[in-house]
A and B are shown apart, each in its own frame.
Chain A
């Protein structure tokens, strides 16, 4: 390490000298691939003093300012809230509570446009400050000693990653001590224009180190590295000076280091800074903490220090207000919920702010759909760059500049080809999900192709397709399950029927002395099911061979057949009434049985006969028919409802309430439909369901 430190300056000087001859020699100054050197414009906002204690007229606090689940408001419209009061929280999942930045009244809880690329509205709590800035008493927490205590502290203070991602910080902290070897303080701030972290390091260096100390102590981290780009010499100096403010005890436990790093975009990326400081690549399928690295933004650490030592939740943050369209850019300690427009107006814009403001820097920021969006926990910059003429995109000339600039060493150009032709599986194979959307590729593209948007679109498309596939798979499974269930139910029903039939037969056999005759009857009945031709052949064949022994049986059979025939005829007309005409109870029972059999037979016929054909025509007509009927019924119902409503509205003759009326009409329609269906019923399934609905009525 020492040798490296000694060698570095010489190498740096050499490359700096070379850089004058060959600008791209600067790429040899750091350890990750690619990177670009945009114009930084940092002095625009850096040369002006920091603005503090600005309370705007209205604070708009979205209930979701982080990745994960939205919080739920804990206050109501009209409530007076105090500074630091918790106004929204949830326990439904990954989230961070939200606190009132100043005292005032809740004027509304309603959807407002969010600082989000979609420009969609989301639920916000609107607070009108009363100007008193009356604070709720704070209870400084003890310095957390365990990871759990730290997590609780960080969560309750509502701290999220303030570098831009907005991942709730507590979720990033591991549960066990000692699994983190390096805490990296991210002070690189590589985006052009933005100087808020620079200012924070100059003004609150003590707090940043204190935050790092708290995290290091509670997690048992042996080494804390602070990476700062070497164009922020004042911040490096301030951080070095503030190191002495830490207690000697913690200096003994942990080594605190400040590392100036090369000024290159995107040095501030987690993977890039880790590689630069530790020469360690975070495997793409692992989180940083799995390789023993925890990275925190300077602002996050300062917020942790304030939460631990003073009990202050996160209610404000440093924001850079800058851009080529502003006369007096500045940095400010801004209350969360302050509108972009108000901040930009304070910087005296050169022309009216008719163009969209940008949240974040020009490389990774997002342009706003409304300039009235609020500052949230992840807003580090409000950028007012008047739009310039956008060069039309030319076709890709495969020059490879994008590939040379990519800090992840992806193949942006191939990703682009596949994204454009919607070959998302190939896009995924080319590791599009490793893309950090830093914008280097679009920045250098001579054809001005909006590459990053292609990747963003491809990513969200891949996610959507995967979701859709999962949903389709689920639907398929559920459908198959339902089919299986219906089939099973049908089988069970059949089995039940069969069992009943068998039982009845057995009973009959037990009662009758002439067992053979009964059996013959049963057989005869079975034979009756067959076609007439089969019957005749059966007769002619069986009778001569079994003549000597079975004359009685034959007689019985003939009688049974005749009876069965009779019963069949009767059943065709009206089975129940006709069966009453037969004299004996035995006959009656037989007739009923035959009728039942016959019914079963016809049912079977329709079933077996229809189902193979069902495939196309039947099902089509059936479902169409069903639909048609349903539609008619629904129309009727709605018409009735309508007419009754109009009646009521027009003449007031009807005294019933409209909803009741509608309901009644609907019920009637339902009944009608049920009846109609009963008349048309063909399959047993429907019969049942309709009967069921009948009984329900």
Chain B
């Protein structure tokens, strides 16, 4: 009886020490959850989640202050990933805000641009170049397709156009799942 007590007490002490040691030894700095979420967010910085950028949304999620289904460009996939990371129930995406089927980029109609710099201020990633009263243009490579510049344009000269595939950017499609092999 006494031996059993001693043995288990000793075991408890040893494991307690081990756990304590592990906590110090393997301590994770910072807020890994926010980083993790930030990594899977599409980084369009579009603000459609109601936060001024992807990072603030990730932080809010990490603190449990926000819903998991707010990232519109990320869509269903990102929502699932977020709910996995935050261990929360997945929620259906808002049907009215669907991500575009193809990647879009903003294009400025340069004949109409009046050089008001509004879009430059709105662009979260500085992908629009230009100066006051000078024509602006979008750096296509850096445009995230967030559409933030579209509403601020006073002359409505910014259009979102889909990026069409060329033979160089074309991807092999996945083999069509035939009737015999059902996708899991």
Contact = CB atoms under 8 A, between A and B. Distances in A.
A464 interface: yes
A433 B81 CA distance: 27
A626 B151 contact: yes
A392 B180 contact: yes
Contacts of B142: 471, 474-475, 478
B151 A630 contact: yes
A395 interface: yes
Interface stretch (B16-24, B26-34, B125-133): B125-133
B152 A475 contact: no
B112 A627 contact: no
Contacts of B72: none
B60 interface: yes
A459 B44 CA distance: 25
Interface residues of A, number: 60
A475 B125 contact: yes
- The contact size tier of chain B is 35 or more
A453 B175 contact: yes
Contact of B55 (A116, A420, A480, A669): A480
Given A457-B173, A482-B124, A666-B112, A633 B154 contact: yes
Contact of A454 (B43, B60, B152, B174): B174
A659 B111 contact: yes
B96 interface: no
B51 to A, nearest CB: 6
A453 B172 contact: yes
Contact of A634 (B38, B53, B153, B165): B153
A545 B107 CA distance: 70
Contacts of B55: 476, 479-480
B150 to A, nearest CB: 8
Contacts of A393: 175, 178, 180-181
A482 B125 contact: yes
A118 B168 CA distance: 9
B179 A475 contact: no
B99 interface: no
B127 to A, nearest CB: 7
A693 B151 contact: no
B45 A479 contact: yes
A483 B51 CA distance: 13
B162 interface: no
Interface string B161-184: 000011100111111001111011
A656 interface: no
B178 A392 contact: yes
B82 interface: no
A165 interface: no
Nearest to B176: A450
Interface in B111-166: 111-112, 114-118, 121, 124-127, 132-133, 141-142, 144, 151-157, 165-166
B54 interface: yes
Most B-side CB within 10 Å, residue of A392, A476, A662: A476
Most B-side CB within 10 Å, residue of A472, A659, A662, A674: A472
Contact of A637 (B121, B132, B154, B171): B154
Nearest to B124: A479
B19 to A, nearest CB: 32
Interface in A460-504: 460-461, 464, 471-476, 478-483
Interface stretch (A189-197, A233-241, A325-333, A614-622): A614-622
B90 interface: no
B126 A615 contact: no
B167 A634 contact: no
Contacts of B167: 64, 114, 116, 118, 120, 122
14 contacts: A454-B174, A457-B173, A460-B171, A475-B125, A478-B142, A615-B56, A616-B65, A619-B50, A634-B154, A637-B155, A667-B154, A669-B154, A693-B117, A693-B118
Given A474-B125, A637-B154, 19 more contacts: A116-B170, A392-B180, A393-B181, A394-B181, A454-B175, A475-B44, A475-B124, A475-B125, A481-B126, A615-B60, A616-B51, A620-B50, A626-B151, A637-B156, A663-B112, A666-B156, A667-B114, A674-B154, A689-B121
The 5 closest A-B pairs by CB, nearest first: A670-B154, A630-B151, A666-B155, A472-B43, A460-B171
